[in-house]
Every structure is written in structure tokens, then in C-alpha cells.
């Protein structure tokens, strides 16, 4: 055998040299080799990246902790240390202000209740597996705003007589629509012809008074023009006739429409009552609000008000009526074309000019109107995306079932469209939340505004006060926005499953 092997040159007599083991593909080292050092260029990038992270991270740690000042009563503590880092006692002293602004100390429990109740309601709303979504939504959209309004401002509003009269008048006017809702327009008009004629006469008189002034008579000490009296009397008569007609009808739909009207009136009156009742809360003006409270109020009111507006605008933009479509397009594009700052300036400076003499708004409310209109334009585009994603078959099917436009929209299209755009709505909310910082430019103290304002306090003015304040503000904003963006991604994934095709 040995002979054989020696005689054949191609037979190997020695083991070939061992190849090096293949690069480790498991374990930490393997992972590193695969993901960080797989090519020379990547290795260089990795080293640069690590150095960069270390530089930034160390910079923050050094500034915040190692060189940071942790205790003290005033700026002296932070000024005394040469080359000091973050001035934490300043944050400790001012943190309550960052959250509540100038809200009176002994009243802050009211803000806390609003925060806590809101957080619980929102959390239960946001977690998909929890039940009672409808009731929760009702609470969040109706009861909660009312509750926060009363708690934060103190309620106990004084409505002027003309405002109250106006609301009562509008309620009565709405009575005219009840038969139209109950029987459809044609039959409703026929059944209620006299009332509508009276209302038409009132409208005519009003149009005439636009051009001709009427004599005024003294009524209970105040001067009222004859035409005003005539219009009010005609409308009142029309509304009462319409209601009497409804009540005497035996028709089921008339009954349910009437009941609905009564319910709506009761709700409005209840809301008015809650706003006017004196709960014994001290009135806190909006000028005393500030910090996170204002940020929350602006962002949440903005999003809640912009949602219905945005839906209407989105529907308007897809409407077949040219006037409505043109208006929606112009409205959306104008608001989207200008910066929020100019919108805020406009609402804070020009809104008072637009209103009739004697009507004036709270500054915060003016900012709210501006942000709501602004975000409504963006919301409209988000919702339009959802509407476009609904297949045409859905519209056609609804039409085939004989549903009217509003029913098609409210029962078929919008529920599907809105579900798709939930992530988009959350994203709009995030940008609105960030944009609330701009109200500081019109002199409201949101979170960033109050942080900036606190730099002016001579008690805490130190070289590092500004950086520390900005750091804390950035952290607070980031936590909120990041949380919401994660939620948006989570919802996107969750909702996406319903639309993916499975199988054939």
C-alpha cells in the first residue's frame, strides 16, 4: 500500500493546509462582523459613527450630569461654579410654571383633574381592545370639553341678553327644519307651507332692511326698530306653527323628528346651563394660563375643531357643485400656502377688525380660531386622501340602495375613509402640537413661551439657564410627539391588516 501511494504522484500524502475557519456568523462577534464590519468602507463608517455617538453622548452627559449643578436656591448656585453645566435647580423652581403657567397656586387641582381625566379617557380610547368606544368618544367630544371649559375658566359665564335671545331664536328657527327632516323636503314643504311662507316673509323684510332703515320704537326701555320686531314675530309664529303641526301629527317619523329636536334643544340648554351655573370656582382668566396647559388646550382644541371642518372641506373639494368645490379649493390652498405665523398674526391683529363693533374675543380664543382654520385645511387634505382610497363601488352600492348624499357619506364612505386616515390624523396632531410653539410669537405663553419667559427672571438668570430650559422643553415635546408617532405607526400596522388581500 505504501508502495502504491509513493508511486502515484497525484496521490496526496500529506493533509492539505487547513483553511481558516469561516467568519463567525453567530454570536456577538458574528453579528458585528456581518452588520458593522462587512466591508472596509463599512468598518470606517462604523468607527466614525461610534466616535460621533460617543462625542454627542459624552457631551450631553458631561453637560447635564458631571458639570451640572443640582442644588441651590437662586442663580448664585449656578453662577458660582465656573464653567458649570446644566442648572437643574432652576428647572426644579420653575417646573410648576412650565406646566401651569401663571395659573393660581391654590386652583391648580382643576388643571390636574383635566389632565388626569383627559389622559384616562384618551388612553382608553386609544387602546383598541377596550370596549365602550362610542360612549368614550361621546364623553371626549362633548362632556370633556365642557368639563375642561368650566374647570379651567371657572364657568359662571354671563351671557348677554342678546346672545341668549340669539341662541333661543336659532333653536326656534331649527324647528322649521324638523318637518323637512321628517318627511323629506317635498312633503315637508307641502305640509308646512304657511310656516315656511312666514319665514320667507321674515327673510324678505330682513333683506329690505339691509337697504332701507326703519323707524325705531321704545320697547321696555330699549330702542328696537319696527322691522326687527316684525322679523322676530314672524319667525316666532312660523316656528310655533311648525311645532304645533308636528305635535299634532300621528306620523311615526314626525314623532321621532320632534323628539330629536326636543333632545337637541335640551342638550343645548343643558350646555348653556352648565356654562352659566356658578359652581363656586374662582374665575381664572386665560391670560393666567400658560405652559403645557396652553400647549394642550391649543393643540387639542385645534384638532377637535379642525376635524369636522376638515371633513366638510374635503367633501366640498370632491363635490360636484362648482361653487362649493371652488370655495373649498381656494380655502384649503390659501391656508396651506401661507405660514402659520401670518395666520396667527392675522387672527390676533385683524380678527377684531373683522368683527362688528362691540364684539371682542379673548386672545387665546383668537389664536384658537387661527390654528383651527389653519389645521382644518391640512386635515381636509388628509381626509381627502382617505376618501380617494374608497373604491367607487362603495358609492355606487350606496346609491343603488337609494341612500341620499349625506347618508351615503355618513353611513358608508366616511366611516371607512376616516378609519384609513387615523394615522394621518395623528400625524396632523403631532405637527399641530409642535406648531403650538408659534403662539409665543403673538404673546401667548405656551410651553416654549413660558420657558423663554422664565429666562427673564433675574432670580435665575445664569449663563446656562437658557440651555437648560431649552433642553427640558425639547425633552417634554419630544416625549409627547414621539409617543404619538409610535401610536400612529402601531395603528397603521393594525389597520393595514384589514385591507390586505389574503389568498386569491
Partner 1 sequence: MTAVIDEARPQRVSFFNDPKVRSRAAQIVFALLLLWVGYEIYHNTSANLAKLGKNVDFNFLGNTAGFDIIQRPIEYSRESSYLTAILVGFLNTLIIAILGVICATILGFVIGVMRLSSNWLLAKMAAGYVEIIRNIPLLLQILFWYTAVLKPLPGPKESLSFLGVAFLNNRGFIIPKPIWGDGAGFVGIAFIIGCIAAIAVSRWARQRQERTGEQFHSFWAGLGLIIGLPIVAFLLAGAPVTFEYPELKGFNFAGGTTILPELIALLLALSIYTASFIAEIVRAGIMAVSHGQSEAAHALGLRAQPTLRLVVIPQALRVIIPPLTSQYLNLTKNSSLAVAIAYPDLVAMGGVVMNQSGRAVEIVVIWMIVYLALSLFTSAFMNWYNARVRLVER
Partner 2 sequence: MKNMLMSLALGAGLSVAAVSAASAATLDDVKAKGFIQCGANTSLIGFGFPDDQNNWTGLDVDFCRALAAAIFNDPTKVKFTPLSAKERFTALQSGEIDVLSRNTTWTMSRDTSLGLKFAGVTYYDGQGFMVKKSLGVNSSLNLNGASVCTQTGTTTELNLADYFKANNMTYQVVAFEQEQEVLKAYEDGRCDVYTTDQSGIYAQRLKLAAPDDHVVLPEIISKEPLGPVVRQGDDAWFNVVKWTYFALLNAEELGITSKNVGEMMNSTNPEVTRFMGKEGDFGVAIGLTNDWAAQIVKHVGNYGEIFERNLGESSQLKIARGKNALWTKGGLQYAPPIR
Which residue stretches of 408-464 are H helix? Answer: 414-420, 422-435, 447-454
The listed partner (partner 2, partner 1, none) that binds 361, CB under 5 to 8 Å by sort, is: partner 2
Query: How far apart are alpha carbons 152 and 136 in whole angstroms?
Result: 21
Give 76 or 396: the residue with its C-beta nearer to partner 2.
Answer: 76
Contacts of partner 1 in 273-302 (CB under 8 A): none
Does 33 engage in binding with partner 1 (CB under 8 A)? no
Closest to partner 1 by CB, 114 or 439: 439
Does residue 82 touch partner 1 according to CB under 8 A?
A: no
Contact 430, 485 (CB under 8 A): yes
Return d(Cα 183, Cα 251) in angstroms, integer: 9
481 binds, among partner 1, partner 2, none (CB under 5 to 8 A by kind): partner 1
CB atoms within 10 A of CB 95: 13
- CA dist 461 and 262 (Å) reads 60
Residue 437 binds partner 1 (CB under 8 A): yes
Q: Tell me how far apart the alpha carbons of residues 385 and 379 are, in angstroms, rounded to a whole number.
A: 10
Using only C-alpha atoms, what is the Rg of the chain?
33
Q: What are the residues facing 216 on neighbouring strands?
A: 225
Candidate ranges 2-10, 73-81, 259-267, 335-343; the one touching partner 1 (CB under 8 A): 335-343
Q: Of 176, 430, 444, 453, which lies in the binding site for partner 1, with binding defined by CB under 8 A?
A: 430
Burial of residue 73 (number of CB atoms within 10 Å: 0-12, 13-18, 19+):
exposed
Tell me if 400 contacts partner 1 by CB under 8 A: no
Q: Interacting stretch for partner 1, rule CB under 8 A, among 146-154, 273-281, 389-397, 467-475?
A: 467-475
350 binding partner 1? (CB under 8 A): yes
| Separation CA 380–CA 329 (nearest Å) | 10
CA–CA dist 395, 320 (Å, integer): 14
CB of 231 to partner 1, least distance (A): 16
Please, which residue, 111 or 439, has the CB nearer to partner 1?
A: 439
Q: How many residues bind partner 1 (CB under 8 A)?
A: 58
CA distance 58 to 62: 6
Question: Taking a C-beta distance cutoff of 8 angstroms, is the pair 481, 428 a contact?
Answer: no
Give yes or no for residue 470 binding partner 1 (CB under 8 A). yes
Q: How far is the CB of 384 from partner 2 (least distance, A)?
A: 25
Check residue 139 for interaction with partner 1 (CB under 8 A). Answer: no
Is the CB of 46 or the CB of 288 nearer to partner 2?
A: 288
Q: How far is CA 355 from CA 165, 287, 360, 361, in A?
A: 19, 21, 7, 9
For every residue of 178-201, which 3-state class applies, written as one string? HHHHHHHHHHHHHHCHHHHHHHHH
Q: How many CB atoms lie within 10 A of CB 90?
A: 27
Exposed (0-12), middle (13-18) or buried (19+): which is 218, by Cβ within 10 Å? exposed
Q: Output the CA–CA distances (angstroms, integers) from residue 238 to 29, 222, 269, in the order listed.
A: 86, 25, 21
Minimum gap (Å) between residue 236 Cβ and partner 1: 23
By CB under 8 A, what part of segment 169-208 binds partner 1? 184-186, 189
Residue 392 sits in the site that holds partner 1 (CB under 8 A): no
Q: Is 119 or 334 the residue whose CB approaches partner 1 more closely?
A: 334
Instruction: Identify what 50 binds: partner 1, partner 2, none; CB under 5 to 8 Å per kind.
Output: partner 1
Instruction: Provide the grid cell at 439.
Output: 403662539
49 binds partner 1 (CB under 8 A): yes
CA–CA distance, 385 with 291 (Å, rounded to integer): 34
Taking the complex as a whole, the smallest distance from the CB of residue 301 to partner 1 amounts, in Å, to 18
CA distance 295 to 435: 9
| Residue 375 cell numbers, joined | 389645521
Least distance between partner 1 and beta carbon 100 (Å)? 20
For the bound state, the minimum distance from the C-beta of residue 274 to partner 1, rounded and expressed in Å, comes to 30
By the rule CB under 8 A, 355 interacts with partner 1? yes
Residue 22: CA count within 13 A, CB half-sphere: 3
Which residues contact partner 2 (rule: CB under 8 A)?
Answer: 75, 79, 94, 97, 102, 104-105, 149, 153, 157, 159-160, 162-167, 169-170, 206, 209-210, 214, 225, 227-228, 231, 275, 285-288, 348-349, 352-353, 355-363, 365, 441-443, 445, 452-453, 455-458, 461-463, 466
Of 158 and 186, nearer to partner 1 (C-beta) is 186
- List interacting residues with partner 1 (CB under 8 A): 35-36, 38, 42, 45-46, 49-50, 52-53, 184-186, 189, 320-324, 327, 333-334, 336-342, 345-346, 349-350, 352-357, 430, 434-435, 437-438, 440-441, 448, 452, 466-467, 470, 473-474, 477-478, 481-482, 485
Amino acid at each position: 500500500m505504501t508502495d502504491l501511494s509513493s508511486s502515484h504522484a497525484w496521490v496526496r500524502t500529506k493533509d492539505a493546509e487547513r483553511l481558516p475557519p469561516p467568519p463567525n456568523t453567530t454570536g456577538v462577534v458574528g453579528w458585528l462582523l456581518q452588520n458593522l464590519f462587512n466591508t472596509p468602507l463599512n468598518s470606517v463608517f462604523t468607527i466614525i459613527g461610534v466616535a460621533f455617538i460617543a462625542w454627542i453622548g459624552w457631551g450631553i452627559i458631561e453637560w447635564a450630569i458631571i458639570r451640572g449643578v443640582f442644588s441651590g436656591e437662586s442663580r448664585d448656585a449656578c453662577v458660582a461654579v465656573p464653567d458649570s453645566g446644566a442648572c437643574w435647580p432652576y428647572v426644579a423652581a420653575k417646573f410648576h410654571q412650565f406646566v401651569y403657567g401663571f395659573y393660581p397656586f391654590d386652583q391648580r387641582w382643576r388643571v390636574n383633574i383635566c389632565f388626569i381625566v383627559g389622559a384616562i379617557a384618551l388612553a382608553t380610547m386609544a387602546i383598541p381592545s377596550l370596549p365602550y368606544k362610542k360612549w368614550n368618544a361621546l364623553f371626549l367630544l362633548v362632556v370633556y370639553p365642557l368639563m375642561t371649559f368650566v374647570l379651567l375658566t371657572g364657568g359662571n359665564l354671563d351671557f348677554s341678553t342678546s346672545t341668549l335671545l340669539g341662541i333661543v331664536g336659532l333653536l326656534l328657527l331649527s324647528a322649521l327644519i324638523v318637518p323637512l327632516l321628517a318627511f323629506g323636503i317635498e312633503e315637508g314643504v307641502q305640509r308646512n307651507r304657511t310656516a315656511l311662507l312666514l319665514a320667507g316673509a321674515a327673510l324678505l323684510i330682513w333683506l329690505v332692511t339691509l337697504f332701507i332703515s326703519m323707524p325705531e320704537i321704545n320697547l321696555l326701555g330699549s330702542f328696537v326698530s319696527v322691522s326687527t320686531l316684525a322679523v322676530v314675530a314672524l319667525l316666532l309664529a312660523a316656528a310655533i306653527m311648525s311645532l304645533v303641526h308636528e305635535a299634532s301629527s300621528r306620523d311615526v317619523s314626525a314623532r321621532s323628528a320632534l323628539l330629536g329636536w326636543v333632545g337637541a334643544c335640551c342638550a343645548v340648554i343643558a350646555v348653556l346651563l352648565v356654562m352659566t351655573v356658578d359652581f363656586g370656582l374662582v374665575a381664572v382668566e386665560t391670560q393666567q394660563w400658560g405652559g403645557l396647559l396652553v400647549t394642550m388646550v391649543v393643540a387639542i382644541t385645534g384638532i377637535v375643531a379642525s376635524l369636522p371642518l376638515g371633513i366638510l372641506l374635503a367633501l366640498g373639494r370632491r363635490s360636484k357643485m362648482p361653487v362649493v368645490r371652488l370655495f373649498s379649493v381656494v380655502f384649503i390652498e390659501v391656508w396651506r400656502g401661507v405660514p402659520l405665523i401670518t395666520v396667527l398674526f392675522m387672527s390676533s391683529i385683524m380678527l377684531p377688525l373683522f368683527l362688528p363693533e362691540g364684539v371682542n374675543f379673548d386672545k387665546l380664543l383668537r389664536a384658537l380660531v387661527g390654528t383651527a382654520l389653519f389645521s382644518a385645511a391640512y386635515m381636509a387634505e388628509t381626509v381627502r386622501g382617505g376618501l380617494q382610497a374608497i373604491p367607487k363601488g362603495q358609492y355606487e352600492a350606496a346609491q343603488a340602495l337609494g341612500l341620499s348624499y349625506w347618508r351615503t357619506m355618513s353611513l358608508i364612505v366616511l366611516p371607512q375613509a376616516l378609519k384609513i386616515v387615523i394615522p394621518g390624523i395623528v400625524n396632523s396632531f403631532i405637527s399641530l402640537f409642535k406648531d403650538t410653539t408659534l403662539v409665543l410669537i403673538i404673546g401667548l405663553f405656551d410651553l416654549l413661551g413660558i420657558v423663554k419667559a422664565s429666562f427673564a427672571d433675574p432670580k435665575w438668570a445664569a449663563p446656562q439657564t437658557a440651555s437648560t430650559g431649552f433642553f427640558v422643553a425639547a425633552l417634554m415635546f419630544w416625549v409627547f410627539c414621539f409617543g404619538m408617532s409610535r401610536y400612529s405607526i402601531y395603528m397603521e400596522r393594525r389597520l393595514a391588516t384589514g385591507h390586505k388581500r389574503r389568498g386569491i
